[in-house]
A = this chain, B = another copy of it.
Amino acid sequence: MTTPSPQAVPTYRLSQLAAMVAGRLAGPADPVITGIADLATAQEGQISFVTTEKYLADLAASKATAVLVRPDMRVERPAIEVERPDLAWAALLDVFAPPLPHPQPGVHPSAVVETQLDPSVAVGAHACIGPRTRIGANTVIHPNVTIGPDVQIGRDGVIWPGVVIRERVTIGDRVIIHPNAAIGADGFGYNLIDGRHRKIAHIGTVVIEDDVEIGACSCVDRAKAGATVIGHGTKIDNQVQIAHNVRIGPHSVLAAQSGIAGSSTLGRYVVLAGKAGVSDHLTVGDGVRGAAGCSICKSLPPGAMVSGLMAYDHRQYLRHHALVRRLPELAEKVQELSNELYELRQAIHDRK
């Protein structure tokens, strides 16, 4: 592994950074900026950002030397004015990013590589790559990765340490797979015959399209037949489970610890919050949003926003949730009505 010494910190004038983000230098000076941070943790010499007025108080308490703001904001300290301070700040994260600690191009002598690789591919120590596997230019395979035979990986990808990719998996360009993820393990399928769970062979594979990112300790199982598919541009967080024969459309986002059961299909731009679940054999439409911890157990039309176990419409869920919290009052009111009705009947009876 190679990284330049961390002492080599980049420094810029604020005006240089303003030019990089197409912003306007504002405020009292053009200081030297040596780092980037959020408001709470920023130190002297660092640049932070404010998106809305409500954070101006936090800015006042921040040690940040400079700040990215909207053009309509007035602040006392050195600033860059841009329409989207949050995006400009993200762009500056790239500017200040230390280089990633990738292995050098070429194969580390301790790696066990049973295929021919382009010289631009980097393979770290103790990585194992099976026969007939093809890896595109500039892709980085970190130490202790295991890749089976007949795998295809595109160019400009990064496979972090400890990842396992089993045989015949296909992975596109610019794919990033984080530590200890498992791609292409057998799906979970059995037939119960004479009281025993007989394993169903999973002879299919996994297809991960371009620009996908898969989080640490996440799992994408191979299909029974055909392929489990992760559409291009979809981003998957840590500890996410994608079962056999699932198909996820492009540009979806699955937060940590979410899970999709076998053979379900998700559309484009689906967003699942943390710990959301989708049962098997469902169709989840484009742009569906599932709240944290929801359990989707029926198919959903495009654009639905759902919450809860046995998830349904989020706004209805909120309304019902609020009513559940008022159940003590409701039960009491029913008891009062019952009492009043009783008294009224007594009164009428007595009057007879």
Contacts and interface: CB of A to CB of B under 8 A. Distances in A.
Q: How many copies of this protein are present in the complex?
A: 3
A221 B202 CA distance: 28
B257 A279 contact: no
- Specify the main secondary structure of chain A where it touches its partner: loop
A274 B279 CA distance: 8
Contacts of A190: 235, 253
A15 interface: no
A259 interface: yes
Interface in A251-305: 251, 253, 255-257, 259, 261, 273-275, 277, 279, 292-295, 297
Contacts of A198: 90
Interface of A: 1-3, 5-6, 35-38, 40-41, 86-87, 90, 93-94, 96-98, 100-101, 108, 110, 112, 114, 124-126, 128, 130-132, 142-144, 146, 148-150, 160-162, 164, 166-168, 176, 178-182, 185-186, 188, 190-191, 193, 195-203, 211, 213, 215-219, 221, 224-227, 233, 235, 237-239, 241, 243, 245, 251, 253, 255-257, 259, 261, 273-275, 277, 279, 292-295, 297, 307-310, 312, 316, 319-321, 323-328, 330-331, 333-334, 337-338, 340-341, 344-345, 347-348
